[in-house]
Amino acid sequence: MPDAARTGERIFRGIPVSPGVCRGKILVLGKPHGDVISHTQISDEEIPVELKRLEQALVDTRHQVLEVQRQLTEGLGANDAAIFDAHLLVLEDPSLIDEVTKLIRQDKVPAGYAWQQVSEKYIKTLSSIGDDYLRERATDMRDVAGRVLDNLSGRETNLDLRKLKEPCIVISYDLTPSQTAQMDKKLVLGFATDSGSRTSHTAIMARSMRIPAVVGLHNATHEIASGTYALLDGYNGQIVVNPTDQTLFEYGQLVKKRVTLEERLRDTIDKPAITLDGVPILLSANVEQPSDTEAVLASGAEGVGLFRTEYLFINRDVLPTEEEQFQAYYQVADALKPSPVIIRTLDLGGDKFLSHLNVPQEMNPFLGWRAIRFCLQERAIFRVQLRAILRASVTGNIKMMYPMISGLDELLQANALVEEFKTELRTEGIPFDEHLEVGAMIEIPSAALAAESLARRVKFFSVGTNDLIQYSLAVDRLNERIAHLYEPTHPAIIRLIKMTTEAGAKHGVWTGVCGEMAGDPVLTPLLLGLGITELSAAPGAVPQIKYLIRRLKMTEARELADFALGCESATEILTRCKKLATQVAPSLFENFAP
């Protein structure tokens, strides 16, 4: 960009996770993560600006500390509040402030960096002295130094995302799925995080809510200050800070191209998902809340392939009652009837927690007390949910599936509980569908390997590729540093899926995919070729998948799958997938780079 240097345009690249482009003011959330603030060089003209920012941050921090002290005095009494006197002294310490000022002037560094360098040095010195009193002062210093840094970056620490004052682009080191679920779409234009990857539940939630999002930006929260004007590009995974007119123009063109494509895709919405050679595919959508049904209907999906019920449980202070859950399940099934609605039983744990349930912190939450493991031990919670699902099954076409089944034992235990609660309902004279179909998610490698024995006890399989990939390849699905190792086309994944569809077919059990692989049109032919007959994706991804299916021949898909099953390289498989997908539906893969 010729004028980029003049206007200060900067581009931060990350992982695109939710399509769309938005522009607005940045709001940086959360505590700084890690301890290094970037050491960029400032110009001579910027020195007074940085000195002013430092002064203002010290004044703001002083006000905040005085306010905390006032509240404490009211609540606890003057003695406890006096500990904050030490914080106030730090803010007035002339040698500390002189040293920071000198560093800004002489080394030409931003105020945040200078403040952090000097305060860290003081903290280290105080902590290394073998004196309890001085060690305490180091703690005070750390606390107040953090507040100053927050103020320098304009960072909001404990902001409730439901209470934003104006539209903005949120950036944060991380966001939990429950924080994301709280976002008001009118106020959060888009969001970005330093951490995360494509299959984190936060990213999945962004796609579901259709909020443009970028993750894996590494250091953006340290380098971008609140109030900065920026453009977020959820197609290509970047944030452009202070975009030039040229950049804005190019993005205008990109958005026009996308609108044209979306109009073309709209034509297929009412048409069936059937391949060119006449093979029908059940194309469904994933939902997180009952209100998502509207988006499902608008997307042209034929039902719900995954209802992530845990979102009924988070962001609240008490567990949802049987009646509340019944209403939610009934509502979705009724709105979509006669199309199927697959309700997944509670998948708490991993990256989804309830603040009000006292679940101990675990070293490896994704390998821990999660999903069916949690439900089989917390039977009272499971009972309420199973009764609600059974009761709702009187309407529409409800099916139910269990997450994280690792082998036969868990499946048998869960099925036994379902039978127990059916008996309960019968005794109480409460109606339910006696023939409710029950399936198992295949998302742990052991389940794929044991698919034959599972297939004898279920009506369908749904492959949760998000977890299947994470567990098979030992790649944490949340970790941006190893996101490049998270390979859906890894030969091991291809074989596990094939093993599942084969075991299912042998016992008359159909196999679907409800993980994010189902929403990637590049991978649609491969999945169908491997014997998958149902795909369930975020509503926003459904039209493009249908568009591609309607242009694909099953014979081509099977050829691709045969190639993949004989291939040793994830990259080669992916290249072949891209080749076929681009050949059958080129307009889906036009260059959408700005």
Residue 521 vs residues 144, 496, 585: alpha-carbon distances, Å: 50, 20, 9
Q: State in angstroms the smallest separation of the CB of 350 from ligand PEP.
A: 7
Question: Rounded CA gap, 111 and 90, in Å?
Answer: 17
Nearby residues of 570 by Cβ (< 8 Å), 6 or more positions away:
487, 489, 490, 491
Is 515 a residue that touches ligand PEP (CB under 6 A)? Answer: yes
Structure tokens at 441: 């998610």
Among 212, 237, 464, 512, binds Mg ion (CB under 5 A): 464
What is the contact mask toward ligand PEP in residues 322 to 351, using x (rule: CB under 6 A)?
-------------------------x----
Question: Binding of Mg ion at residue 467 (CB under 5 A)?
Answer: yes
- Rg (Cα) of the chain, in Å, rounded? 27
Q: In angstroms, give the least distance from the CB of 492 to Mg ion.
A: 17
Taking each helix axis from N to C end, the angle separating 570-584 and 491-506, rounded to the nearest 10 degrees, works out to 70
User: Which CB sits closer to ligand PEP, 464 or 540?
Assistant: 464
Specify the DSSP class assigned to residue 349: B
101, 325, 465, 501: which one binds ligand PEP (CB under 6 A): 465
Closer CB to ligand PEP, residue 11 or residue 485? 485
514 binds, among Mg ion, ligand PEP, none (CB under 5 to 8 A by kind): ligand PEP
User: How many whole angstroms separate alpha carbon 264 and alpha carbon 261?
Assistant: 5
What whole-number distance in Å separates Cα of residue 437 and Cα of residue 401? 8
CA 121 to CA 93: how far, in whole Å? 14
Q: Which is nearer to ligand PEP, 275 or 465 (CB)?
A: 465
Q: What are phi and psi of 189, to 5 degrees?
A: -70, -30
Angle between helices 94-107 and 111-128 (to 10 degrees): 140
Single residue of 306, 494, 552, 574 touching ligand PEP by CB under 6 A: 306
Which residue of 32, 177, 464, 488 would you call a contact of ligand PEP, by CB under 6 A?
A: 464
Lay out the site mask for ligand PEP across 426-455 (x = CB under 6 A, - = otherwise). Answer: -----------------x------------
> Residues 370, 404: contact at Cβ < 8 Å?
yes
Phi, psi of 593 (to 5 degrees): -75, 145
Report the residue number, 223 or 310, with the smaller CB distance to ligand PEP.
Answer: 310
Quick one: 372 or 389, whose CB is closer to Mg ion? 372
CA distance 594 to 253: 8
> Judged by CB under 6 A, which of 153, 179, 195, 466 binds ligand PEP?
466
Q: With CB under 6 A as the contact rule, which of the stretches 74-82, 207-215, 417-425, 460-468 interacts with ligand PEP?
A: 460-468
| Residue 224 · residue 201 · CB < 8 Å | no
C-beta neighbour count of 361 within 10 angstroms: 7
Q: Which does 308 bind (CB under 5 to 8 A by kind): Mg ion, ligand PEP, none?
A: ligand PEP
For the bound state, the minimum distance from the C-beta of residue 438 to ligand PEP, rounded and expressed in Å, comes to 17
Closest Cα to residue 463, out of 445, 487, 489, 486? 445
Packed helices 554-565 and 570-584: angle between N→C axes, nearest 10 degrees: 170
Stretch near Mg ion under the rule CB under 5 A, chosen from 79-87, 217-225, 436-444, 580-588? 436-444
Measured from the CB atom, the residue of 200 and 226 that comes closer to Mg ion is 200
The one segment of 96-104, 240-248, 464-472, 566-574 that binds ligand PEP by CB under 6 A: 464-472
Query: From the CB of 440, what's the least distance to ligand PEP, in Å?
Result: 13
Tell me the closest approach of the beta carbon of residue 307 to ligand PEP, in angstroms. 11
Please, which residue, 54 or 532, has the CB nearer to Mg ion? 532
- Give the count of beta carbons closer than 10 Å to the beta carbon of residue 92: 10
Among 233, 433, 467, 556, binds ligand PEP (CB under 6 A): 467
Instruction: Give me the least distance between CB of 513 and ligand PEP, in Å please.
Output: 8
Of 145 and 328, the one with the shorter C-beta distance to ligand PEP is: 328
Q: Which residues are part of the catalytic machinery?
A: 201, 514
Contact 503, 451 (CB under 8 A): yes
- 389 interface partner picked from ligand PEP, Mg ion, none, CB below 5 to 8 A per type: none
Q: Which does 490 bind (CB under 5 to 8 A by kind): ligand PEP, Mg ion, none?
A: none
With respect to ligand PEP, which residue has the nearer C-beta, 111 or 332? 332
Residue 480 interacts with, from ligand PEP, Mg ion, none (CB under 5-8 Å by kind): none
The window from 306-314, 352-360, 462-470, 547-555 that contacts Mg ion (CB under 5 A) reads 462-470
Least Å from the CB of residue 333 to ligand PEP? 20
Angle at 143 between CA 161 and CA 195, to 5 degrees: 45
487's contact among Mg ion, ligand PEP, none, with CB below 5 to 8 A by partner kind, is: none
Is the Cβ of residue 384 or residue 444 nearer to ligand PEP in the bound state? 444
DSSP code at position 442: E
What is the nearest approach in angstroms of ligand PEP to the Cβ of residue 65?
Answer: 42
Cα 43 → chain centroid: 38
Dmax of the chain from CA atoms?
82
Is 443 among the residues that bind Mg ion (CB under 5 A)? Answer: yes
Q: How far is CA 512 from each of CA 174, 185, 285, 447, 535, rounded to the nearest angstrom?
A: 31, 31, 12, 15, 6
Q: How far is the CB of 465 from ligand PEP (least distance, A)?
A: 5
Using CA atoms, how far apart are residues 407 and 453, in angstroms rounded to an integer? 9
- Give dist(CA 139, CA 152) in Å, integer: 20
HSE (CB half, 13 Å, CA atoms) of 146?
14
User: What share of residues in the chain are helix, strand, coil (percent, to 5)?
Assistant: 55, 15, 30
Stretch of 22-30, 78-86, 356-364, 462-470 lying at the interface with ligand PEP (CB under 6 A): 462-470
Exactly one of 28, 239, 447, 514 binds ligand PEP (CB under 6 A); that residue is 514
Report residue 71 as tokens.
């509240």
- Asked if 399 and 459 count as a contact pair (C-beta separation under 8 A), the reply is yes
Per-residue mark of binding to Mg ion, 529-558 (x: CB under 5 A): ------------------------------
Site for ligand PEP, rule CB under 6 A: 306, 308, 347, 443, 464-467, 514-515
Site for Mg ion, rule CB under 5 A: 443, 464, 467
